[in-house]
Amino acid sequence: MTTSIHLSPGQVAASLTLVALAAAISFWQKADLERDIGIATVRSFVQLTAIGYAIKLIFEADTLWLVFGLLAVMVVFGALTARSRAKKVAGAFWPLLIALAIAGATTLGLVVALGVFEPTARYLVPVGGMVIGNAMTASAVALNRLGDEMADSRARIEATLALGATAKEAAAPTVRRALRSGMITLVDSTKTTGLIFFPGTMVGMLLAGANPTDAVRLQLILLYALLGSVAIAALVATGLAYRNFFTSAQQLRDLD
Amino acid sequence: MLFELNEVSLTRGERRVLDSVSATIPVGATAIVGPSGAGKSTLLRLLNRLADPDSGTVSHRDRPLASYDPLALRRQVSLVPQLPALLEGTVESNLDYAAELAGKRVDTERCLRLAGLDSEFAGRDVARLSVGEQQRAMLARALAQEPAVLLLDEPTSALDPAARDAIEATLAELRRELEISVVLVSHDPEQARRLADWVVRVEDGRAIAAGPLGQVLG
């Protein structure tokens, strides 16, 4: 895979025409999104430019410590972002942090160990970013659902505890539904990939002039890796977070 | 004594739900009576450690409840909550689940009969039962564990008078047939008269009286 593409700032600027079109539609239809479109455009430019330079430096340095450092930062910010979407789960940060770290480490470790990718910055940084990003979304969705389900199923869970079931046994149906909702989005989009939408990596490679067969193979590897990472993240996050709803005496904690 | 509460207090948020409650509950049938919000259900939940007090002690057969393994205790002291909350599946799968937790072999037909349900209910999906039938299935599920004590939280509050009478007859029958102790929460003193021989009266989180039925309810 030696393809590359060189784009000038002028070409990027030209694409702003579509941003102007979006703002014009918002103004015309009174959708009141012009300001948000402006902020989104500026933020995407600043953030992507910054991370582009950071990645360039890491690629040039080519030391794995810098790669691990960047991935660790992604895991922490991913856990913080996911926590803000799982407000009904007390103490969600640690389960999320552990889930993202395990999902990232396991997935990257496996693809390297199986010889799919070389352990270099050029592969680990972009693949790690995708893995952690998807794991973050899945675990946030799973914990959000867990919070809702624990509140809705409170009577049933306590009635099960009253029979002498452990917290794990009483929460099992709830945890299962939460895990499922964390995974289902990616499973569904994987089913329809190539039919209804073209995934980003494949589009990027095709645009960069890669052989379509290579583009498809890389995309498949990434999709399969993401399925694994999403499952691990949702499993670990729900498997740790449900405990926060119970006391050590297998009682339901009061909701605030 | 079956249960003994000594200076038991419990606070939820800003609210003191139980305030220095002291009472005894002997073997037999006891009713915990009082108005809504008095703390009756919370008191019942203390008896099988679905909740623990902030202060004070609860004893079961002269041994502090805190020293019991909560899981083993709950399989001996079964609580049937006010609103039915069965697991998804059939009535029989719920009974099997409860019996398995208690390490017992379930006699489904007998448990259903004791709870006033025909054996044909075994295969029914719990989602298709009426509230009264679900309440009976909850009772049958608790009986599948062969508990020594049954804790019942307002077992007839969601039922019409005919269904209430049927459940009360079932409970009276249960006591005769199984000789298990029953602690029943009720807001209705008349129900206590019909079912209990010992009464604990609770108001505003305090036990204002505890003793034989005739002495407490007159």
Beta-carbon separation of B48 and A162 below 8 A: yes
Q: Is the pLDDT of residue B155 over 90?
A: no
**Cα distances (angstroms) measured from residue B85 to each of B39, B82, B135:** 21, 9, 9
HSE-up (13 A, CA, CB side) for residue B87: 24
Chain B residues with CB-CB distance to A173 below 8 A: 87-88
pLDDT in tens, A164-179: 999 999 999 999 999 9
3-state helix, strand, coil in chain A (%, to 5): 80, 0, 20
Q: What is the rounded distance in angstroms from the CA atom of residue A40 to the CA atom of residue A52?
A: 17
Instruction: Look at residue A129 and give its three-state secondary structure.
Output: helix
Q: Which pLDDT score, from 0 to 100, does residue A255 have?
A: 66
* pLDDT higher at A104 or B171: A104
Q: Which pLDDT score, from 0 to 100, does residue B164 have?
A: 81
Mean of pLDDT values over B4-18: 93
Mean of pLDDT values over B53-76: 94
Residues of B with CB under 8 A from a CB of A: 12-13, 48-52, 70-75, 78-81, 83, 85-88, 97-98, 101-102, 138, 141-142, 145
Q: How confident is the model at residue B170 (pLDDT cuts 50, 70, 90)?
A: confident
Q: Which pLDDT score, from 0 to 100, does residue B152 have?
A: 94
Q: Is the pLDDT of residue A2 over 60?
A: no
Q: Write out the two tokens for A93.
A: 């940060």
Of residues A160, A163, A254, nearest to B78 (C-beta) = A163
Q: Which pLDDT score, from 0 to 100, does residue B91 have?
A: 97
Q: By the 8 A CB rule, do A74 and A82 touch?
A: no
Q: Which pLDDT score, from 0 to 100, does residue B121 have?
A: 95
**Average pLDDT across chain B, whole number:** 92
- Any idea which of A35-44, B51-60, B102-111, B169-178 has the lowest mean pLDDT? B169-178
pLDDT in tens, B121-138: 999 999 999 988 998 999
Q: Is the pLDDT of residue B158 over 80?
A: no
Q: How confident is the model at residue A256 (pLDDT cuts 50, 70, 90)?
A: low
Chain B residues with CB-CB distance to A149 below 8 A: none
Cα-Cα-Cα-Cα dihedral sign, residues B191, B196, B199, B205: negative
Give phi and psi for A38, each to the nearest 5: -60, -45
- Any idea which of A94-98, A149-153, B106-110, B154-158 has the lowest mean pLDDT? B154-158
Q: What is the rounded distance in angstroms from the CA atom of residue A174 to the CA atom of residue A88?
A: 14
Q: How confident is the model at residue A227 (pLDDT cuts 50, 70, 90)?
A: very high
Q: Which pLDDT score, from 0 to 100, does residue A4 have?
A: 64
The separation between CA B191 and the C-alpha centre of its own chain, rounded to angstroms, equals 14
Chain B residues with CB-CB distance to A159 below 8 A: 81, 85-86, 138
Indicate which of B15, B69, B74 best probes the interface with A, i.e. most A CBs within 10 Å of its own CB. Answer: B74
Indicate which of B11, B15, B75, B87 best probes the interface with A, i.e. most A CBs within 10 Å of its own CB. Answer: B87
Q: By the 8 A CB rule, do B205 and B39 touch?
A: yes
Q: By the 8 A CB rule, do A176 and A213 touch?
A: no
* pLDDT higher at B157 or B211: B211
Q: Which pLDDT score, from 0 to 100, does residue A247 have?
A: 94
Q: How confident is the model at residue B151 (pLDDT cuts 50, 70, 90)?
A: very high
Beta-carbon separation of A158 and B85 below 8 A: yes
Q: Which pLDDT score, from 0 to 100, does residue A108 have?
A: 94
Chain A residue closest in CA terms to B69? A249
Indicate which of B50, B95, B141, B150 best probes the interface with A, i.e. most A CBs within 10 Å of its own CB. Answer: B50
Q: How confident is the model at residue A198 (pLDDT cuts 50, 70, 90)?
A: confident
Q: Which pLDDT score, from 0 to 100, does residue B177 have?
A: 81
Could you tell me which residues are beta bridge partners of residue B185? B32, B153
**Average pLDDT across chain A, whole number:** 91
Q: Which pLDDT score, from 0 to 100, does residue A197 have?
A: 76
Mean of pLDDT values over B190-206: 92
Beta-carbon separation of B141 and A162 below 8 A: no
The pTM score is 0.84
Q: Which pLDDT score, from 0 to 100, does residue A1 have?
A: 45
* pLDDT higher at B166 or A240: A240
